[in-house]
Structure 1
Amino acid sequence: MKTDSIFYQMFQTFPGIFFELIGQSSTEGNAYEFKSVEVKETAKRIDGVFVPSKQSRKPIYFVEVQFQPDDIFYYRLFTEIFLYLGQNKPKKDWRAVAVFCRRSIDQAVPIEYQRLLLSQQVQWVYLDELEETANPSVGLGMVRLVVENEDTAQTLARQLIQKAQQELEDEALKRKVLELIETILVYKFTQLSRQELEAMFGLSDLKQTRVYQEAKEEGKLEGKLEGKLEGKLETVPRLLQQGLSVEQIAEVLELDIEAVRKVAQQSDS
């Protein structure tokens, strides 16, 4: 899964998610613009920077998402931060936030940067240690979906889709959020076909979306994406296990109900 780019898309759509992750109110995101900035000397871009308005006294936040072990993670992070500060001279305080999928990925801050820790300018988020809440926001729910195991992810995804459809009034924002959820599902459930994803999560025609097309190009869905009759019938037993009725499966997969019933009967025997 393209976890870093997905997170940056979420931060772009919902800046408040980031501030919830670091223990602040989601409303803090209203005072910031999330952007990707170029560091000229390295010909690279810092993907995650929360920049307050020039008049604001709020700090700049540099955020880096990491899902793989990387021995030079902190060297790269601090080098990019100080290059940014030297080039832009923002005259503002700053914070660095490292977001890891789990604590074991964190290679620890090298001794060269240890004194920065005394200033409390560095903060960590370990996604697998986030506290569960009874009614998480759509934003935090998407974060949890990325690291959730497949069994519980199915229930969470359905809840998030329903929550987004019910609570988000801005249609453009709603479409963006649903697309982000679809992105996570496509990359998380690589063994499922398009028809299975649509049926299990109540998605729209996924095959027409940019998310699906990108995943198809990357070969993530293992050749089951063309929707042939045989492929559709192969999905029936798994959809039955997910609690869908014969009628629902026939409607979603655009199959004759008798064909679906026959497969269901064979599965029971």
Structure 2
Amino acid sequence: MIKRIKELFAKMSQRQILELVETIIVYKLPRLSREEIQQMLGFSDIDVKQTRFYQDVYGEGKQEEAVALVFRLLNRRFGELDSNLVEQIQKLNVSQLEELAEALLEFSSQKDLETWLQQSNV
């Protein structure tokens, strides 16, 4: 097992190893701020925004915000949506959600939304 771990680490770049360590620490010490973790480990010269962990978390947050905004707009326009439509919208990526947000300004009914989702192959 140790041999396998050594082989794995030998293939990783220093940056990948630091990202892995940072990710583990973030999960193990969730109450510490990013700055506290960097200071504790002496990572002051690393731009955390460039790490894969940060990018993943940022992307997930952006996705959640976009979904929430689209649902608020659609619910205000058409009332409560059918659960099938909700499920389809939740599968959209950020750029599709942005397109939907623009398109819904011209929708006059939920049928327009259904048509848009079908044309978008969702």
TM-score range (shorter-chain normalised) is 0.3 to 0.5
So what's the TM-score if we normalise by structure 2?
0.36
Higher strand content, 1 or 2: 1
So what's the TM-score if we normalise by structure 1?
0.18
Relative contact order (C-alpha < 8 Å, sep 6+): which is higher? Answer: 2
